[in-house]
Structure 1
Amino acid sequence: MQVINTAAKLKVGVFFGGKSIEREVSLNSGRTICDHLDTDKYEVIPLFQDEDGTLYNLPWHFLHRGKIADFQSRLAKEAQKITWDDLRTLVDFVYLAVHGRFAEDGTIQGMLEILNIPYLGSKIFGSALGMNKLVQKEIFSANGIDVAAGITIHKSEIDSLNVNDILLRLEKAGTRLPCIVKPIHEGSSLGVSKVLTEDELIPAIKKAAYVDARRTQDVIIEEKIEGMEFVCVSLQRAVKKNGKTEAEWFTFPITEVVPEGQSIYDYEQKYMPGRATKITPARCSDQDLQKISQICMKASILLNFATISRIDGFLTKDGRVILIDPNTLTGMSPATFLFHQAAEYGMSHTQLINYLIETELKLAGMLEFTGGHSDDDEGDSVETNKHGEKKLRVAVLLGGATNEREISLESGRNICYKLSPQKYDCIPLFVNDLHELYKLDQRLLIKNSTREISNMLDKAQKVSWSALSDICDFVFIGLHGGLGEGGGVQGALEMLGLPYNGSGVLASALCMDKFKTNNFLRAHGFDVPDSFLIPLQAWQEKSIEARNEYIDSNLKDYHYPLILKPHDDGCSVFVKKVKNRGELIGLVDQYFAQSGKSIAMLEELIIGTELTCGVIGNDENVRALVPSNTVAKNDILSIEEKFLPGEGENQTPANLSVNILEFVKNIMVEAYKAVGCAGYSRIDCFYQDENQSKTGKPRVVILEFNTLPGMTPATCIFHQAAECGMRPMDFIDKIIELGFANHAEKLNAKHVKDTKQKDQIPELVLEPVVLGVLDSGSAAVSVKQDDQSTALEYSQEKQHRKKSKSGKTVNFDSAEQSDLPQSQDIDDKITMNLF
């Protein structure tokens, strides 16, 4: 391999996806690496491998999808199909962000060696060892490293298992129930079970053996170890000794893992926001930490690992270190162990990625030494960009006091990572349960849960609300629910004279209450579900018989099933489908007991195509993004489907005709204006065709507004913006620009002029021009946004006229200005009888 030319950008292919069952985890890893690669040094080339092995140069607008299925059907038409041999000219280096079979087992490493392309991580032999748990245990045992006692069930035995025989084999191996059952060749804790009883044993073995439906595999049954579970990430550094380049191992601070309750550290505990607790450094003696480090580095050497290693294990009460799972390529999602532990060293994501690539190139003899590696202190603030222009200081609020605090942490952290370091000086501010502010450093920002951050706030700098205007020019609210989304924070910031993202006090407060929002929208001619509120006090005062009478009298016009949910919460928290009256009584009792809420909301169940649609803009310059179809496995979209990698599915654009999509978008824009939103929002709704609609005509039923929608790495509003040509960083830029513009007159914001930077996306200018009439009888309209045009279709028929309570006729389908109230006169339209 030749020495690279450091004057030119290195073409880094980020390889993700893959053929294993861990491909969804890999999508998260690949997205993170693409987001954080240093574009001053590297040209980023996303390389996606589909499940069938086909390679693509992935278009960036697919990069922030939540699930591979969200874009898989479009790859053939929209992605550039490539071959392995194309990589020779396409990339200089491959950053492997794949996991599991065909990724960490020597196969892809063998291909890249044949192509003579340098890549990240262990080479062929080390990778092959790294995926075989049985051989690993044999090597460790032979070299004095403790492993879990257990047995192996060969795949040929799976269909003839006998519980008593297995228990006898376990006893001979020195263990018994409870035990841990896991597949021999998989990672990410897929197929892993904790077995407590004999009845659970055979199902757990079959689950592990068949976890990859395409093949049967051997299964390992091991003792359940009691002690402190840990994760140790080790890296190599390239050093010069006697003129030769050598590799030396060192470890990051070790992390203690504490799963929720009695859970094991399974897939959901690993990847669902806020579940397992990660404590770094681990809570044990310095002597034990040193012992763990030494054993993990020894294990990495024995397995021929290179550049990076992650080893999981236990420290038992009697001081033994037992290794359970070595990994050649650790997960690389934003808050994974790799970045979590690197943050303890003060290394940002970008600095760590640079270090790994440079180390690999030095060890391969492709990069000259320049006096060693040096990382800038993450705490140091660079106040001007490379052009000498002053950066905008943006405070990002995250955390909060609601049930959505963990999602807020993910959203706020992602905003911090996506804010361009050339334009902005980012100030992460954690909001605790008392709404106090704390400035977070890189080490605290990357913690896995708000619980962990809250326990370490004594190490953070407290910031008073009054001091915000001294430390920042703009506040990006990454909070969800409660005072953060319901007008409280918005009011405080306006009192301080600080511009912020999203809607103002009134629209925020209105949209935080689903019941009030529904009544307001209904009064202005929009279709919404019928709904009814049950106060806790009134409910508790009634006997069982009185509750039945109360339900019957108030819900006489409703039909089961119904939806039970909070009127002021999000993220699918405490949402249930109620099948009948008998079930309703018990579920309402359960709701009040578990939620801590004082009001329950019952809502008509809407049947149709469930959609969510982002809307962006201020005043009259408003644009709806492309609606997404949210696909729920069961009746209600779960929080896991929203945020657990690989669970939820969002089809963007929704699988509806262009006419229908534009019909939906037009209503979204009008509803956004009617409520008085600003900046951006995401509106959840259903589209019903004439057979589903109780009016007998197609309609859009609006469920709720999200005035501060989730901004997690793969959130659907990023998918929708990408379909309109905006990358996440561009979209966030636009939100900040709109925030400044929205508050310019009201707050006399001194930094408004600073937002008009040359590299920001252009203003949205919508100028409808009728092009002709389509076969459907609709008018085709071109909407200009600078040099781009988007075809819109507005129905010429007055399909959706209704009388509002004010007596006005509202036509949602006209391309002309409607009679809906605009943001400036909403105050005059709201009357208490609506609520």
Structure 2
Amino acid sequence: MNITIIYGGKSSEHEVSLQSASSIIRTIDKKHKLHLIGISKNGAWYLHGDEERERIIKNEKAVLKIKKDEAKRVTVIPGGGTKKGLKAGDDFLPTDAVFAVLHGRFGEDGTIQGLFEMADLPYVGGDVMSTSISMDKEKTKMIWDYSGLPIVPYIAIKRQDWDDPEKKKALLARAEKDLEYPLFIKPCRAGSSVGAGMVKNRNELLEQAEESFLWDNKILVEACIEAREVECSVTGNTKTIAYIPGEIIPTHKFYDYEAKYTDPNGAELKIPADLNETQRKTIRETAIKAYEALDLSGLSRVDFFIDKRTGKIYLNEVNTIPGFTSISMFPKMCGASGLPYNELIMHLIELAINRFKTDRKLKTCRQS
């Protein structure tokens, strides 16, 4: 099988993508041909040869690098399909499936999914609509709320409203009245807790809002619940499976970027999570409902809060391309449920190919 792995990207989670893709490359059987495409931080695509794959396999601590060789610039060809949809220099890159291991903007927001659709290529994960909606935390909450699923109280603020003194004053008053301190502020369309923080008063709110607006033109202000953080892996196209939930126990104030990726002692991961049978069942059932409400396919990690005071379970957010590093929760939860890492990767690729075959049966234009 010819598999294309894409990594890097124009995202605050560029480095995380390199780690995730490195782990995936190590687990794919050598009988499969890999095309490794690295995307630089300015958005240029470059093909990397078999020597990069060998370097990653030989050294467990090695991380992918992006080499900017203009002779190996990659282009995507609309309508090219699995034989001619990707090209590097003068050579086409036959591709049975693409696994774009891209976290955050330009990876989980429907943009690259649209590119693959135009090129007529099978790809791992949700389609254009489901990924773009899932990337927007406000839109995700709106759909979950409409579907009767439990969400944390919030308000969304757009940059243009924040820049209007009268609207800003009203928004601050609403946040303080309806939600009360402490509050949690984060960009609507960023991941890995980038630009996010907890605030205890108005001055901190003003400062954190400006930080969050550096990453997106829309931010969320949420009620800050003292809660346990529980996650659940989900896979499937037409048949959805939720795996054994795990729990994040941060050693930091909250599970921020450093705790997730740079501090080896940033959090304790407990799989399975210490839950009673009712909680475990509720989380798995709610994860499936949340996934299906967004019309997701392939995979996602659904994140939850459990209020330490009341025990109430809330949906937090969904990640359509979750981390695949050596310490990432998604593959670990699948593994605890009996689906080891190497089988998980091939399962996701099979789901991508199956959905592609199903979608190709649909009519796209009228017969003349």
The separation in 1 between residues aligned to 2:293 and 2:317, in whole angstroms, is 14
The separation in 2 between residues aligned to 1:547 and 1:582, in whole angstroms, is 14
1:114-153 correspondence to structure 2 within 5 Å:
none
Cα deviation code 1:14-70 (max 9, x no counterpart)? xxxxxxxxxxxxxxxxxxxxxxxxxxxxxxxxxxxxxxxxxxxxxxxxxxxxxxxxx
What is the Cα deviation at residue 580 of structure 1?
A: 1.7
Distance 1:553 1:724, change over 3 A: closer
Q: Which residue of 1 aligns with 2:105?
A: 482
Counterpart of 2:172 (choices 539, 551, 554) is 551
Counterpart of 1:659 (choices 278, 290, 311) is 278
Query: For 1:556, what is the secondary structure of its paired residue?
Result: helix
Q: Which residue of 2 aligns with 1:721?
A: 334
Question: Aligned letter for 1:560?
Answer: Y
Counterpart of 1:428 (choices 16, 36, 52) is 36
Question: Aligned letter for 1:537?
Answer: Q
Query: For 2:144, what is the secondary structure of its paired residue?
Result: helix
Question: Aligned letter for 2:293?
Answer: A
Query: How big is the alpha-carbon RMSD for the aligned residues of Structure 1 and Structure 2?
Result: 2.4
Q: Is residue 617–residue 623 contact of structure 1 (8 Å, CA) maintained in 2?
A: yes
Q: Is residue 498–residue 747 contact of structure 1 (8 Å, CA) maintained in 2?
A: no
Question: Aligned letter for 1:565?
Answer: K
1:250-399 correspondence to structure 2 within 5 Å:
392-399=1-8
Counterpart of 2:73 (choices 462, 467, 471) is 462
1:466-615 correspondence to structure 2 within 5 Å:
466=77, 467-469=84-86, 470-471=92-93, 472-542=95-165, 547-553=168-174, 555-592=176-213, 595-615=214-234
Q: Is residue 499–residue 747 contact of structure 1 (8 Å, CA) maintained in 2?
A: no
What is the Cα deviation at residue 396 of structure 1?
A: 0.5
Query: For 1:637, what is the secondary structure of its paired residue?
Result: coil
Cα deviation code 1:450-498 (max 9, x no counterpart)? 8x63xx4026611211143541111011001112111111111122221
Distance 1:616 1:531, change over 3 A: same
Distance 1:667 1:640, change over 3 A: same
Q: Is residue 566–residue 574 contact of structure 1 (8 Å, CA) maintained in 2?
A: yes
Identity of aligned residues (%): 27
Using CA pairs below 8 Å that are at least 6 residues apart, which structure has the higher relative contact order? Answer: 2
1:630 aligns with 2:266: no
* Alignment: residue pair count: 343
What is the Cα deviation at residue 444 of structure 1?
A: 5.4
Q: TM-score normalized by structure 1?
A: 0.39
Q: Which residue of 2 aligns with 1:712?
A: 325
1:414 aligns with 2:23: yes
Query: For 1:704, what is the secondary structure of its paired residue?
Result: strand
Question: Aligned letter for 2:300?
Answer: S
Question: Aligned letter for 1:410?
Answer: Q
What is the Cα deviation at residue 501 of structure 1?
A: 0.6
The separation in 1 between residues aligned to 2:117 and 2:197, in whole angstroms, is 37
Q: Which residue of 2 aligns with 1:278?
A: none
Question: Aligned letter for 1:419?
Answer: I
Query: For 2:254, what is the secondary structure of its paired residue?
Result: coil
The separation in 2 between residues aligned to 1:434 and 1:590, in whole angstroms, is 22
Distance 1:495 1:748, change over 3 A: farther
What is the Cα deviation at residue 720 of structure 1?
A: 0.9
The separation in 1 between residues aligned to 2:246 and 2:174, in whole angstroms, is 38
Q: TM-score normalized by structure 2?
A: 0.86
Q: Is residue 437–residue 465 contact of structure 1 (8 Å, CA) maintained in 2?
A: no
Q: Which residue of 2 aligns with 1:790?
A: none
1:205-244 correspondence to structure 2 within 5 Å:
none
Distance 1:604 1:730, change over 3 A: same
Question: Aligned letter for 1:463?
Answer: V
Distance 1:547 1:655, change over 3 A: same
1:751-766 correspondence to structure 2 within 5 Å:
none
Counterpart of 2:295 (choices 665, 676, 684) is 676
The separation in 2 between residues aligned to 1:563 and 1:635, in whole angstroms, is 12
Question: Aligned letter for 2:254?
Answer: I
Q: Name stretches of at least 5 consecutive residues in structure 1 with no aligned partner.
A: 1-391, 693-697, 750-835
The separation in 2 between residues aligned to 1:404 and 1:486, in whole angstroms, is 13
Distance 1:596 1:634, change over 3 A: closer
Q: Is residue 306–residue 314 contact of structure 2 (8 Å, CA) maintained in 1?
A: yes
1:736 aligns with 2:345: no
The separation in 2 between residues aligned to 1:542 and 1:635, in whole angstroms, is 32
Distance 1:575 1:596, change over 3 A: closer
What is the Cα deviation at residue 449 of structure 1?
A: 7.6
Distance 1:554 1:657, change over 3 A: closer
Distance 1:553 1:572, change over 3 A: closer
Cα deviation code 1:61-102 (max 9, x no counterpart)? xxxxxxxxxxxxxxxxxxxxxxxxxxxxxxxxxxxxxxxxxx
The separation in 1 between residues aligned to 2:354 and 2:171, in whole angstroms, is 49
Query: For 1:741, what is the secondary structure of its paired residue?
Result: helix
What is the Cα deviation at residue 634 of structure 1?
A: 3.3
Distance 1:610 1:401, change over 3 A: same
Q: Which residue of 1 aligns with 2:236?
A: 617
Cα deviation code 1:218-238 (max 9, x no counterpart)? xxxxxxxxxxxxxxxxxxxxx
The separation in 2 between residues aligned to 1:408 and 1:703, in whole angstroms, is 22
Q: Is residue 252–residue 259 contact of structure 2 (8 Å, CA) maintained in 1?
A: no
What is the Cα deviation at residue 607 of structure 1?
A: 2.8
Query: Greater Rg, structure 1 or structure 2?
Result: 1
The separation in 2 between residues aligned to 1:687 and 1:550, in whole angstroms, is 27
